[in-house]
């Protein structure tokens, strides 16, 4: 339903503005990301590019380069700054010390779902994006469906993390596992399976569906059944390329860099990840570990200090962390996305 409505709107815009776009110079953009073509994000990116093509009267073409074709996952922010890519998909927590406000979405037990969670994240973050993401133009923000710990052996309590080697999903989760006494193995998602296979890592934080897409299911057997964290992501634009567009073309891009599109990206990816949880539960080769109420409470308590770490980081950037967090909580509550 959402895709049909957005598609119809794009066609209406194209029909209404055909004469305007006839005077515009055609442009071709490169959209770089680092997940494989089978990933739902790639398919949503294709739909986004097609919708822009239609809405711009064919004057904005976007070619999509998946699977790190233009550069490593961790380099996509800088690739966009330099113009190697015009649009990029980034994990806001891949590089410690950057996008510190955006890292609020990385805090454990913060966001409950991918669809409304993405909309809320996008709405809340927009006023901070220009300062928090220097050198690029933020298009939209989103999260995946909540992920968890996947490991080679059974884990049910935070004490069992001590002395393990954990590949964290992002910088805030890295702080969390280090507080629990683990060491971190900082590799991107496409490199995670190899780290586990070689014994460089014992456990990983990952969303459910993606453990199959990236082959993590072949090297882990135990999975905690809890909605423990989300990861914040963004689609970002090279500002010079955006500013070089005509006013009518910029309007099309603005219409596609919106909370509605953030919702769509989060929703389509979220459905994929949620299905992975059910697939894992039905797989006799895997054990989904249910937590007792006391164990879940212990995990939540163990994550408390990372809120303080994040707060000190954003305070050094001139922000009031209590206000940021209160506003974020209120926005998540408004859209029905606050973790319980």
Structure confidence by residue, pLDDT tens digits, 134-176? 999 999 999 999 999 999 999 999 999 999 999 999 999 999 9
Q: Looking at per-residue confidence, does 17 or 114 come out higher?
A: 114
Residues 206 and 133 in one domain: no
Per-residue confidence at 15, pLDDT binned at 50, 70, 90?
A: very low
Residue 137 forms part of a structural domain: yes
The rounded mean pLDDT for the chain is 94
Q: What is the mean pLDDT of residues 9-24?
A: 56
Q: Which domain holds residue 223?
A: 148-229+285-334
- How far apart (Å, rounded) are the C-alpha atoms in residues 86 and 70? 11
Give the residue carrying structure tokens 């910088």.
171
Question: What pLDDT sits at residue 309?
Answer: 96
Question: What pLDDT sits at residue 20?
Answer: 64
Residues 104 and 200 in one domain: no
- Contact present, 130 and 199 (Cβ < 8 Å): no
Residues 186 and 215 in one domain: yes
Q: How far is CA 54 from the centre of its chain?
A: 26
Residue 164 forms part of a structural domain: yes
Q: What is the mean pLDDT of residues 244-267?
A: 98
Please determine, for residue 14, whether its predicted confidence score (pLDDT) is greater than 50: no
Phi, psi of 39 (to 5 degrees): -70, 140
Residues 92 and 240 in one domain: yes
Exposed / middle / buried, residue 179 (Cβ in 10 Å: 0-12, 13-18, 19+): middle
Question: What pLDDT sits at residue 22?
Answer: 66
Residues 240 and 316 in one domain: no
Residue 325 forms part of a structural domain: yes
Residues 108 and 16 in one domain: yes
Residues 225 and 241 in one domain: no
State the total domains in the chain. 2
Residue 280 forms part of a structural domain: no
Residue 110 forms part of a structural domain: yes
Q: What is the mean pLDDT of residues 85-100?
A: 93
Residue 130 forms part of a structural domain: yes
Residue 339 forms part of a structural domain: no
Residues 87 and 75 in one domain: yes
Residues 51 and 38 in one domain: yes
Please determine, for residue 212, whether its predicted confidence score (pLDDT) is greater than 60: yes
Residues 129 and 59 in one domain: yes
Question: What pLDDT sits at residue 96?
Answer: 76
Question: What pLDDT sits at residue 16?
Answer: 45
Judging by DSSP bridges, how do beta strands 183-184 and 165-167 pair with one another?
A: parallel
**% pLDDT > 70, the chain:** 94
- pTM of the shown model: 0.92
| Residues contacting 46, CB < 8 A, separation 6+ | 64
Residue 244 forms part of a structural domain: yes
Per-residue confidence at 21, pLDDT binned at 50, 70, 90?
A: confident
Question: What pLDDT sits at residue 94?
Answer: 87
Give the residue carrying structure tokens 């994550």.
303
- How far apart (Å, rounded) are the C-alpha atoms in residues 42 and 35? 7
Per-residue confidence at 11, pLDDT binned at 50, 70, 90?
A: very low
Residues 139 and 45 in one domain: yes
CB atoms within 10 A of CB 239: 15
Per-residue confidence at 195, pLDDT binned at 50, 70, 90?
A: very high
DSSP 321: H
- How far apart (Å, rounded) are the C-alpha atoms in residues 39 and 100? 27
Q: Domain containing 176 — which CATH number?
A: 3.40.190.170
Residues 116 and 38 in one domain: yes
């Amino acid at each position: 339903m959402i895709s049909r409505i957005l598609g119809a709107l794009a066609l209406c815009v194209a029909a209404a503005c055909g004469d305007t776009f006839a005077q515009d110079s055609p442009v071709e953009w490169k959209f770089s990301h680092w997940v494989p073509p089978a990933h739902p994000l790639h398919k949503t990116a294709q739909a986004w590019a097609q919708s822009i093509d239609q809405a711009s009267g064919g004057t904005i073409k976007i070619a999509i380069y998946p699977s790190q074709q233009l550069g490593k996952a961790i380099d996509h922010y800088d690739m966009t700054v330099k113009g190697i890519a015009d649009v990029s998909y980034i994990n806001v927590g891949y590089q410690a010390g950057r996008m510190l406000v955006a890292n609020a979405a990385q805090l454990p037990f913060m966001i409950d779902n991918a669809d409304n969670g993405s909309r809320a994240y996008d709405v809340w973050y927009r006023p901070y994006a220009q300062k928090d993401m220097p050198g690029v133009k933020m298009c939209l923000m989103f999260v995946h469906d909540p992920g968890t710990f996947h490991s080679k052996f059974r884990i049910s309590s935070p004490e069992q993390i001590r002395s393990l080697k954990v590949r964290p999903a992002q910088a805030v989760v890295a702080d969390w596992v280090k507080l629990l006494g683990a060491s971190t193995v900082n590799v991107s998602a496409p490199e995670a399976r190899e780290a586990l296979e070689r014994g460089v890592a014992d456990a990983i934080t990952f969303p459910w569906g993606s453990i199959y897409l990236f082959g993590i299911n072949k090297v882990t057997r135990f999975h905690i059944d809890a909605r423990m964290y989300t990861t914040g992501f963004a689609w970002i634009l090279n500002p010079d390329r955006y500013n070089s567009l005509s006013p009518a073309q910029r309007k099309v891009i603005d219409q596609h860099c919106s909370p509605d599109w953030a919702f769509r990206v989060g929703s389509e990816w979220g459905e994929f990840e949620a299905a992975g949880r059910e697939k894992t539960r039905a797989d006799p080769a895997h054990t989904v570990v249910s937590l007792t109420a006391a164990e879940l409470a212990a995990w939540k308590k163990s994550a408390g200090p990372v809120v303080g770490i994040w707060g000190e980081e954003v305070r050094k950037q001139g922000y009031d962390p209590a206000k940021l967090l209160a506003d974020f909580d209120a926005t998540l509550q408004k859209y029905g996305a606050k973790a319980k």
